[in-house]
């Protein structure tokens, strides 16, 4: 499995993976994803495109806005309950991360924004709710 390191080189947003440049200093806390140059599919941390199996992937910077696709509360290996969520980003890829807030208050369809790219404990992206949900009696 491919693990993206912040200090690792990445492909420039308009080029194939053959050209590598160090990450700029202002994008250290940004979420990067790959896009297939053949079919245009967006994906997160892959070696090959899941649609066409192409290996020519460009790295792009995400805007950091998405929607919760699924969220669950986990009580394992932690002193307090935490949520694990699948976030569908505006660019079209899905990433697993944590949404800040009450674990039972996060639902499918909630809009989120990237808070930080690395959770200090799990190493996953952390998101925050864009607007508070207007749910009555949940």
How do residues 27-56 score in pLDDT, each as one tens digit? 457 889 999 999 999 999 899 999 999 999
Q: Which residues of the chain have pLDDT under 50?
A: 1-25, 27, 137
- Looking at the DSSP bridge assignments, the partners of residue 10 are 21
CB-based contacts of 103-110 (< 8 A; 24+ apart in sequence): 103/73, 104/73, 105/133, 105/138, 106/68, 106/71, 107/68, 107/71, 107/133, 107/135, 107/138, 108/68, 108/69, 108/70, 108/71, 109/67, 109/68, 110/67, 110/68
Q: Tokens for 55, please give them.
A: 């290996």
Q: What is the pLDDT of residue 132?
A: 64
Q: Does domain 32-129 have CATH number 2.40.30.10?
A: no
Q: What is the pLDDT of residue 21?
A: 42
């Amino acid at each position: 499995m491919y693990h993206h390191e912040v200090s690792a080189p990445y492909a420039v947003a308009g080029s194939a993976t053959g050209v590598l440049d160090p990450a700029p200093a202002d994008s250290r806390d940004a979420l990067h994803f790959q896009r297939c140059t053949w079919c245009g599919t967006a994906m997160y941390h892959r070696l090959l495109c899941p649609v066409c199996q192409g290996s020519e992937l460009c790295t792009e910077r995400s805007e950091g806005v998405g929607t919760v696709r699924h969220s669950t509360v986990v009580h394992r290996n932690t002193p307090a309950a935490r949520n694990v969520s699948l976030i569908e980003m505006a660019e079209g890829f899905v990433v697993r991360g944590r949404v800040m807030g009450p674990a039972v208050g996060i639902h499918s369809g909630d809009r989120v924004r990237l808070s930080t790219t690395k959770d200090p404990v799990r190493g996953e992206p952390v998101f925050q709710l864009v607007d508070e949900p207007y749910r009555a009696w949940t």
